[in-house]
Amino acid sequence: MIVNKSATLPDVASPCINICKMNERSGLCEGCWRTLDEIIVWGKSDNANKRAILQQIELRKHAQFDGDLH
């Protein structure tokens, strides 16, 4: 029997921390670091897309601490 592992994995948790304020300069939510488009598609996204968004968030955080964002 072949089991689809992605079907048995739990959903990827949202990065939302209930600090929902869009930064006009960066276009990112100041709480979760997502773009408005990423926030909109999150609920319809599969786990692979959610993990890709989380990876982008980490890249943005590193860029911010290097002085490139916000």
pLDDT in the model for residue 66 = 72
Burial class (CB in 10 A: 0-12, 13-18, 19+), 38: buried
Residue ranges, the chain, pLDDT below 50:
none
H or E segment to which residue 57 belongs: helix 47-65
Pairwise CA distance, residues 45 & 12, whole Å: 10
Helix, strand or coil, per DSSP, at residue 26: coil
pLDDT in the model for residue 64 = 80
pLDDT in the model for residue 70 = 52
pTM over 0.95: no
- The pLDDT tens digits for 36-53 are 999 999 999 999 999 999
Instruction: Kindly state the tokens that stand for 40.
Output: 């909109």
